[in-house]
Amino acid sequence: MLYGLKQTREIEDRIENKLYKQGLVYGGVYTSKGQEAISIGSIHAFRPDDVICPSHRDMGVFLTRGMSKERILGHYLGKVTGPSKGKDGNLHTGDINLGLISFISHLADNIPVATGVSLSFKLRKQNRVAAVYFGDGASSRGDFHEAVNFAAVHKLPIVFFCNNNQYAYSTPLEHQMAVDGVSERAKGYGFPTLKVDGNDLLAVYRASVEAVDRARSGQGPSLIESMTFRMTGHSGHDDASYVPPELFEEWAQKDPIENFTNFLLERNLITPTEIKKIDERVEAEIEAALQDALHQADPNPESTLTDVYASPPYHAEVPTWKKTPEDRIQIDSLEPAPLLETSSPPDKGEITYVEAINKALEEELDHDPDVFLLGEDIGTYGGAFKVTKGLLDRFGPERVIDAPIAEAEIVGAGIGAALQGMRPVLEMQFIDFISCGFDQITNFAAKSKYRWGAQVPLVVRGPCGGGVNGGPFHSQNVESYFLHTPGLKIVAPATAEDAHGLLKAAIRDDDPVLYFEHKYLYRRVRGYLPGSGTVAELGKAAIRRPGKDLTIITYGAMVYRALEAAQELEKDGASIEVLDLRTLLPLDVESILESTARTSKVILLHEATLTGGLGGELAALISEHAFEYLDGPLRRIAGPDTPVPFCKPLEDYFLPQVCDIKRVARELLDY
């Protein structure tokens, strides 16, 4: 432990006072000077197969868990041999093989993720424990409260470590909370909390052993608040002028390394000679590691483009696409992709869109024991739209888990479980509520593969779209929120077959997938499903109706309005092609460009609002890569730039209608 304390202090001193000040470290540096006893005292209470979610001030955890000094220093120097290969800095990294989950800048995001790790242990009946470290400042975020509540409700095997260094950046405790510390905040959640002297290594160790034993024996979570002090500013560039000088003087007398050294000397547990040998060993090891790191290679600039996805998307990059008019696919050779009739009565063997989703969930739960469902009211009630009806009865409460109203926790827990190799399917009661989990999706799930090589195979699904008078908070189409986030995949099925096959594909995919099911289609669309082993392919569009005069590119519920408009326009002699995108990220670029080349006129149709919608991205794509085939301007039809209104006359005005499509199509056909 003394060696651990000393190597932690020394390596951070080298990073901050030498490498950082010499301009060799990119970005900021955040050290644990003065609070090393928390990391070293606590980490020794865990077994190697336990999983740790450290913070950016837990260098001692990384070193003790086995991340080499060479890798750590290479990471700070942005070298290719660092765990992030230069793609992230300071201690924003991890290593699944060492049981280390990466921290991110958004404080408290790692806390829900840690509960997901511990949930995976419970579901798999593994005698393992998770731990998560965070500061006093992070305890003010909702993610903290959602996570500790979830852990308490499910009696998860997890220990929460609050490293209370009394300042959230520059904000002192009295401006953060009206109670005496974070442990007081946590008491109301129904599990033990303990406040200890964070500069007393043995006090931290004893408390950690007690909490870990409690978690491992099935008694649930604990929170340990270690009171300490940050003997530097928030980061390397911060002079901490906001801290009264007397506080530095007071806490300098409580230095954890000096205290522990004196403890050992006073009890004749170590000699000055042995201490000197430890110092020499630490100095020599860090110097050797530093020289190694300084000579490591810089990453290839083009590696910026790699490791965004675990399973590379179909057409991840726009192809070099040039075809002569003679190369155009002839309409006579095209067959429309299967599309269900929306008006015919249900025949034997038919299944609705919502039943198709339920069937896919049932099949995947049956197919893979690592698949589980997590969401609000999905168990006994079967979900707000009965999508999960009957699944609890078959698979039980450990596979179909009712969650509190806490979307950030639902997504964060899913991420943690996915990082342990499970395949969670997370329901948003309405897709509008996904905004509460936006941070976890875009900053943790989507970036993990890129930053530290960790796969996050999860699905976030839920009902989207209008047509049911849900109003501004229950009728949105939110795909544009996420289209700008590399690392995600986005699915928007229009048919019952796709609702089934694409959901199965999403669950089996190794990347985070957002699955937007249109609620208007739930019980209006019917079809016949293939066998349970059939899985669709993400990233491929479908021609729902071949045509030669004009293409309508769309997805979701708008597919049916496009088909109705095309059928009516056929009476005027117009041949309209309808291309259903099916997957929005990645796009099937080849099919988009081929259809453009075939008809030379294109309408881009979507239900979401116009500005910033997918139609603008499609227009840019076509303009850049198939401009010479266009015989008219690209036209967009979308919802107006307003929230989705509630009453039927207003919502009908908001949603693109068949008459709108026919009007724009005729204008474009006459161009």
The residues annotated with a catalytic role in the active site are: 474
Spatial distance between the Cα atoms of 371 and 388, rounded to a whole number of angstroms: 14
The letter for the amino acid at 336 is P
Beta strands in 247-376 (DSSP E): 351-352, 371-375
* β-bridge partners, 374: 401, 426
* β-bridge partners, 440: none
Spatial distance between the Cα atoms of 597 and 573, rounded to a whole number of angstroms: 20
Residues with Cβ within 8 Å of 29's Cβ and at least 6 positions away in sequence, in order, are 15, 16, 20, 76, 90, 235, 236
Spatial distance between the Cα atoms of 69 and 478, rounded to a whole number of angstroms: 44
Write the DSSP assignment of 532-583 as a string of letters.
Answer: TT----TT--EEEE--SSEEEEE-TTHHHHHHHHHHHHHTTT--EEEEE--E
Residues with Cβ within 8 Å of 123's Cβ and at least 6 positions away in sequence, in order, are 372, 398, 399, 417, 422
Q: H or E segment at 526?
A: strand 526-527
534: which 2 tokens? 């059939």
Count of Cβ atoms closer than 10 Å to residue 431 Cβ: 27
388: which 2 tokens? 């999960």
Distances (CA, A) of 271 to 8, 44, 233, 280: 21, 23, 34, 14
Taking the alpha carbons at both ends of the chain, their separation in whole angstroms is: 79
Spatial distance between the Cα atoms of 50 and 557, rounded to a whole number of angstroms: 46
Spatial distance between the Cα atoms of 219 and 125, rounded to a whole number of angstroms: 14
Residues with Cβ within 8 Å of 495's Cβ and at least 6 positions away in sequence, in order, are 338, 339, 340, 353, 525, 527, 559, 580
Write the DSSP assignment of 611-624 as a string of letters.
Answer: TTSHHHHHHHHHHH
